[in-house]
Structure 1
């Protein structure tokens, strides 16, 4: 029960979220996404998740948040806008530069969002305690088996578009998501309706045809998966389609017409570093492990390791047509990593065509 004269806890959540710089907030029930859970099970059964074995291992917990924490009663979803200054696809024309996904051009968003979530959660719990309401909280940022996108749609932050990512009427495709699970009983918000209509812009924009159907992605063909999650050699038939994309891909996100309402992100730590906007492939292919770590100290890029990153760079060089890079590729033929050596052989073959 709300204390006399005090705003409801739901209003307090909104105020606390705004004070931490979050751009969107909504509340839903943990049992609000049964259809999404069933679809996830069917999707994993097809093998479309590729090497991401952790998805299959945590499938039951993802399908039902209550299995992750039985005491949960409400889930607060918060969105932080990271809209770019310009169309991120502009770098694709610079064939001797690497294209890095917008979200990875700045500091690791996990490290930025989690402290904000903790402060919101602590303040909410403190106020609930002051009102004599017992409760507990847990915070999540894309690392626990929680289906943030379906939950965010259920909480009214947006809807899952045909490219399977969240789309916001106010921020387009550019929202980082965080979640606060709580034992507090909070009034849920209404879910957002799907506003994709018959639009196919995101599906048609995919360089590798990774969408076998609307709302279905085959991760095994997705450039984000191939450059980040996939640990082995990238299938040769897909390499020419990757262009100069060396970490992630923004094409389906950037193509969404709802981005006309998007705004540039305001969080300074999420602003792109100049050196990550269009880094020269000639510099990146020279990175050894120590130099790689020094080059990306607080970046999400660091988690894939030097070998996978240089593999991606060599594929981009092979697609560049830049003969001036041949000697640097040849130097990678003696690389300690077999993954890098294989990619170097392929790149030389492409440059010789």
Structure 2
């Protein structure tokens, strides 16, 4: 029988060999502040149309209730840091800016397979039961990541590490095994406001608070229907997600480049032509984004975003592209097209 510390050392080594950049442990009950924090967030309406956040609050706020038998949480970070400057495309109004994480394969599938391999290894080594999660269940990954020492929640609310910056996917393995835990990380943001100042829409009411209703990632991915007219010009050419606050973090000087080629930008998604994307019909959209997280939002919402970017481009030659969609069968797409035409007239 291996000692707890020996098992932990082997577990961390196995996690790193699987491709994770960091592995730390905590208890499911190490985040007692989350329920109050979540309730305040919901009461302020910062979640917008993400009604799922208000569901199963007792689990989302207290991971100990998600699986009462769990004794340890293995928190893991997998880097997707880009080789290129993700903000460079913002200087090219005829091109679309897609968030780095969505420029290739869906990370849920990639990370979950890696988590399952690690979980199977843990069972073979020490027995017990396991459950794996990667952004698909009511698990407060960022808070658990903070409690485990993986990093701290920065002023942009994302997890930051002195070892790998903030370009990382988080995953967790809950287990009934009692494994020694790590010390929670402390906040190293100091007086820095780089991420807050970088936000194009002022989506941060205060440090460590995010109003999703103004966040471009939310507006382009989660928000259904037309985007408020006052916010459209602020979206620029960002058509799926936004990396501005992440890219601004100075701790990225320690970023570890993504080791999995499935996170490397596809040639056609690093800086795609807005004119070409606007012409996609439903079948073409599904084919182009097969295996991509972008497929989830559907053709209509995606083309809506593209048309907002066209309207913001200032390029009159794109007006004809928008005009062709003014009578689109989807009323939101048609509204976006008419707005784009008016902006370019």
Tell me which interval the TM-score lies in, with the shorter structure as reference length.
Answer: over 0.9
Alpha-carbon offset, residue 58 of structure 1: 2.1
- 2:73 is matched with which residue? 75
Deviations 1:200-225 (A, max 9, x none): 11001100000000000000000000
The aligned counterpart of 1:61 is: 59
Q: Does 1:2 align with 2:2?
A: yes
Counterpart check, 1:344 vs 2:337:
yes
TM-score by length of 1: 0.96
2:198 paired with 1:205: yes
For 2:143 and 2:259, locate their aligned partners in 1 and report how far apart those are by CA, in whole Å: 25
4+ aligned runs moved over 2 Å, structure 1: none
Find 2:165's aligned residue among 146, 160, 172. 172
For 2:9 and 2:51, how far apart are their aligned partners in 1? 39
- Residue 297 of structure 2 is matched in structure 1 by 304
> Which residue of structure 1 aligns with residue 110 of structure 2?
112
Q: Note the aligned Cα RMSD (angstroms).
A: 1.1
In 1, the alpha carbon distance for the partners of 2:171 and 2:2 equals: 26
What are the superposed Cα offsets for residues 297-335 of structure 1, whole Å, 9 maximum, x if unpaired?
A: 111000000000000000000000111111121111121
Tell whether 2:212 aligns with 1:219: yes
Tell me, what secondary structure is at the counterpart of 2:23? Answer: strand
**Equivalents in 2 of 1:19, 1:262: separation in Å?**
18
The answer on 1:51 being equivalent to 2:58 is no
Between the aligned partners of 1:26 and 1:106, the Cα distance in structure 2 is 27
Q: Which moved more, 1:261-270 or 1:290-299?
A: 261-270
Q: Is the 8 A contact 1:12 1:124 kept in 2?
A: no
1:79-118 counterparts in 2 under 5 A? 79-118=77-116
C-alpha displacement of 1:338:
0.8
SS at match of 2:206: coil
User: 2:26 is matched with which residue?
Assistant: 28
Following superposition, the deviation at residue 263 of structure 1 comes to 2.6
Say whether 1:267 aligns with 2:260.
Answer: yes
Separation (CA, whole Å) in 1 of partners of 2:260 and 2:149: 22
Give the superposition deviation at 1:7: 6.7
CA distances 1:262-300 after superposition (whole Å, capped 9, x unpaired): 132111111111111110000000000000011111110
Cα displacement (A) at 1:23: 0.7
Deviation at 1:86, TM superposition (A): 2.2
Q: Is the 8 A contact 2:220 2:305 kept in 1?
A: yes
Q: Of residues 273, 281, 297 in structure 1, which corresponds to 2:274?
A: 281
TM-score for both structures, normalised by structure 2: 0.98
- Deviations 1:162-201 (Å, cap 9, x if unpaired)? 0000011121110111110111111111111100001111
- In structure 1, what is the Cα distance between the partners aligned to 2:34 and 2:194? 23
Kept in 1, the 8 Å contact 2:94–2:310? The answer is yes
Query: 1:132 — aligned with what?
Result: none
The alignment partner of 2:182 has SS state of coil
In the alignment, the residues of structure 2 paired with residue 7 and residue 223 of structure 1 have an alpha-carbon distance, to the nearest angstrom, of 44
Distance, in Å, in 1 between the alignment partners of 2:193 and 2:173 is 33
What SS does the aligned partner of 2:165 have?
A: coil
Q: In structure 1, the residue corresponding to 2:188 is in which secondary structure?
A: coil
Q: Which residue in the other structure is 1:186 paired with?
A: 179
Q: Runs of 5+ in structure 1 lacking a partner?
A: 130-134
Indicate yes or no: 2:325 matched with 1:332: yes
Residue 15 of structure 1 deviates from its aligned partner by 1.9
- In 2: Cα distance, 1:260 partner to 1:29 partner: 30
Any unmatched runs of 5+ in structure 2?
Answer: none
